[in-house]
Amino acid sequence: MSGKLYVVATPIGNLADFSFRALEVLKQVDLIAAEDTRHVKMLLQHYGINKPLISLHQHNEDRASQGLVDKIRDGQSIALVSDAGTPLLSDPGLPLVKLARQDGLEVTPIPGACALIAALSVSGLPITRFSFEGFLPRTASARKSFFQDKLSDTSTWAFYESSHRIQAALEDMAGIFPPEHEIVIAREITKLHETIVKAPLAAALQKVQSDENMRKGEFVVIVAGRKIEVDQQQLSEEHLKILRLLLSECSIKTAVALATEITGQRKKRLYQAALDMQENQ
């Protein structure tokens, strides 16, 4: 019988953020593939787990993954973990998961901590729709080009950044985005010095520049989407009022369908207005 690959989320700071299921899986598997075996050893020792470890990082994962898939095919169960959080989110592991799936092997997620989701949940920004951009480019010119492309994004978006580049990244952003554009800086999520700042870009940058502690640790930066002003010539105040009343009583799909019949306006225009209303509540 074939074994199984478990993709296991580990704590991002507070060791108590580790599920009972994740612990049981790590106790039962034959082998643990880790981004940094030294880092994971400390976690395993804390919970009294003693399992063979193999290093799987960005420099060896392409060649090492096939050997791990062979072990799973031979009946071994393997847990894939990263240094912290959910594997594959800006961490190694994709070649292994992809190969296992191509071979028809079972791949099971063991959910848990994720810095991105944790930060989004407390951001106070609309997250019905959002995009994750991973780590930003390393050079200023590439970052500025990236920010220019994101200037017209109407949904919330987020990126990871390191302590070495957080100030430079925000300074590059401030050269593209208006100073009043709202962002959230989530620093050291779940750790002792956790800090969450929601502020206009200019104020957030000033805080990072003036406070040395705001340049330490690991960061999730969340950026509000560009606000869309409803075209009053296209949708009158009466049309918007009707749509608001319907949304208070119906699902968005039903509200838009009824508003289309009542107002005679285009369904697509009403649907976009409904999304904007919900996100700006």
> Is residue 187 predicted with pLDDT exceeding 80?
yes
Burial of 238 (0-12, 13-18, 19+ CB in 10 A): exposed
pLDDT in tens, 1-13: 579 999 999 999 9
On whether the pTM is more than 0.95, the answer is no
pLDDT of residue 1: 59
Average pLDDT rounded to a whole number, residues 51-55: 96
Range ranked top by mean pLDDT from 36-40, 115-119, 239-243: 115-119
User: Which percentage of the chain shows pLDDT scores above 70?
Assistant: 97
Instruction: Kindly indicate the confidence band of residue 228, based on its pLDDT and cuts at 50, 70 and 90.
Output: low
Confidence check: pLDDT of 232 > 50: no
- Cα 47 to its chain centre, rounded Å, is 27
Query: Whole-angstrom Cα distance, residue 126 to residue 10?
Result: 27
How many Cα atoms occupy the beta-carbon half-sphere of 280 within 13 Å? 14
Angle (nearest 5°) at CA 204 between 202 and 156:
95
Which of 273, 182, 201 has the alpha carbon at shortest distance from 236? 273
pLDDT band at 231 (very low <50, low <70, confident <90, very high): very low
Question: What does pLDDT average to over the chain?
Answer: 93
pLDDT one-digit tens code per residue, 58-103 = 999 999 999 999 999 999 999 999 999 999 998 999 999 999 999 9
Say which range, 87-91, 143-147, 188-192, 220-224, has the weakest mean pLDDT. Answer: 87-91
